[in-house]
Amino acid sequence: MRVLEGLTLSRPVTVSGLAGSNEASALGRPSHRTAFLSVVPAPAQIGRGDPSRYDLEAVPNAQNRGARLRPNPGSRIRLPRREQVGWVLGVWIPCLVYAIVRYNVFEGVEWVHLPLYIVNKSVAFAGVILIALAYAVGKAFGGPSGSENVRAKAKFLGLAGFSMITLHILMAMVLLSPANYAKFFAETGKLNLTGEMTFLFGVLAYGCLLIPAIATLPYMYEALGMARWLTAQHMGYATLALACGHTLAMGLKGWIDPASWPGSMPPITLLGFLAALVALLIKAAQLVRRAT
Ligand code: HEM
């Protein structure tokens, strides 16, 4: 067994670039095209969370010609298609209906802006709810935390939220102009402080969201080790906190004046903020429970 840059090397996998090379012999591999390059967490990496909940059995993988790599937690179960569609539509359709009723019907936004401007609001709202659900599953609903089923649900909800937010950003980029979002721009045509803060939080939130999204790629658990994989997953909490900043920066003025809400319906910025906040509070409650 060898430890190389934090990874414990223990099992044979084929590494064509190393075959017959000095690097391969430096690893002490046999002379045929095989090197000891398995990636189980080094002892120093184990220490956070409960290993028994995450340390899954190795499974044979034909693509790796006999190597036994551990899959990511939650990746051995695929949610049934109907459940996947149910989650996405069950969250997005109510968000879309809410956006249409609040902005088109009560606020009088022209119907011609339904396809992009209003759909963007619904997609942003649904995205933040799906991410919040991904981090609340196993804590507030869905079964025992850490079980394979809950992990599979969290993975699906997180990736669905990530996809929605990616669409939200693309749509926002197309729409971004003083004509659509006067509140983000100064008279010079540059961003004002509200715009600067809103987009700073938005960009940082998305940057943090990329990390758990990348960690769901196949065998990242094996490659990173348990502790770093869990840290990557926890970056979603930073996304939720920054999403609170994103919505607060752009919406606060409207939140404190309920008399101005069309149809007495709270703005989506406030509802998105609350969705993220609830998930963070559920996590905080869990930490407090564990500490006491
Ligand atoms: C590059 C990053 C981002 C940009 C440029 C961006 C842009 C925008 C813009 C322009 C709006 C205003 C939409 C409107 O008033 O019609 C908005 C709203 C919103 N964004 Fe983002 N966003 C980004 C990232 C995120 C992320 C990462 C999240 C959540 C995880 C998020 C969640 C929301 C929510 C919930 C709203 C409120 C929807 C509404 O009331 O319209 N955004 N964003």
Give pLDDT tens digits along the chain (292 positions).
333 333 334 444 333 333 333 333 333 333 333 333 333 444 444 444 454 455 444 444 445 444 567 888 888 888 999 999 999 999 999 999 999 999 999 999 999 999 999 999 999 999 999 999 999 999 998 888 878 889 999 999 999 999 999 999 999 999 999 999 999 999 999 999 999 999 999 999 999 999 999 999 988 999 999 999 999 999 999 999 999 999 999 999 999 999 999 999 999 999 999 999 999 999 999 999 999 8
* Sign of the alpha-carbon dihedral angle for 240, 53, 224, 19: negative
Rounded Cα distance, 48 and 226, in Å: 8
Rounded Cα distance, 251 and 125, in Å: 13
Domains for the chain: give ranges and CATH numbers. 2-69 (no CATH), 81-291 (1.20.120)
Rounded Cα distance, 68 and 85, in Å: 33
197 and 246 in contact (C-beta within 8 Å)? no
Please tell me the pTM assigned to this model: 0.81
Rounded Cα distance, 240 and 209, in Å: 9
Ligand 1 pocket, mutate which of 157, 169, 237 (most atoms under 8 A from CB): 169
Rounded Cα distance, 225 and 5, in Å: 12
Pocket residues: Cβ below 6 A from ligand 1: 120-121, 124-125, 127-128, 131, 165, 168-169, 172, 181, 199, 202-203, 205-206, 209, 239, 243, 246-247, 250, 267-269, 272
Nearest CA-CA partner of 239 in 157, 179, 165:
165
Residue tagged 């939200």 (tokens): 168
Closest atom, ligand 1, to C-alpha of 180: 16
